[in-house]
Amino acid sequence: RKEVEQDPGPFNVPEGATVAFNCTYSNSASQSFFWYRQDCRKEPKLLMSVYSSGNEDGRFTAQLNRASQYISLLIRDSKLSDSATYLCVVPASGGYNKLIFGAGTRLAVHP
């Protein structure tokens, strides 16, 4: 299994839809996880941290399933501005806060 795997998409959804992305990881010792958002030709920006079982922030919900080693991101009531690539991020082995980034899932929200 790759260290981090994501469905590349694209996910094409209408405004107002609910969409979910999954991410699997291989290091069972990982404790904290992140979702980053990357707009086209821009730097990634932290969207959410995921600790213990999950986290919710407005329309965004991140869940963690340690037994199955996957993380999900749910976006409710999609907006046009949600169109971006969403990167799943897990800690790398060896410490020093090194992170491994998934290749990303592309979301396109249309009117």
Partner 1 sequence: SQTIHQWPATLVQPVGSPLSLECTVEGTSNPNLYWYRQAAGRGLQLLFYSVGIGQISSEVPQNLSASRPQDRQFILSSKKLLLSDSGFYLCAWSVGEGYTFGSGTRLTVV
Length of the chain: 111
1 lines the binding site for partner 1 (CB under 8 A): no
**Among positions 7, 17, 27, 32, the unique one binding partner 1 when judged by CB under 8 A:** 32
Structure tokens at 83: 């169109």
**Among positions 19, 34, 84, 105, the unique one binding partner 1 when judged by CB under 8 A:** 34
Structure tokens at 5: 């795997």
CB contact at 8 A, 109 and 76: no
Structure tokens at 88: 């799943």
Site stretch for partner 1 (CB under 8 A), options 19-27, 37-45, 55-63, 68-76: 37-45
Rounded to a whole number of angstroms, the minimum distance from the CB of residue 43 to partner 1 is 4
Q: How far apart are CA 20 and CA 88, in angstroms?
A: 13
Cβ neighbours of 104 (radius 10 Å): 21
46 lines the binding site for partner 1 (CB under 8 A): yes
49 lines the binding site for partner 1 (CB under 8 A): yes
Q: How far apart are CA 6 and CA 15, in angstroms?
A: 23
Site stretch for partner 1 (CB under 8 A), options 22-30, 55-63, 76-84, 96-104: 96-104
Binding site for partner 1 (CB under 8 A): 32, 34, 41-46, 49, 87, 91-92, 96-104
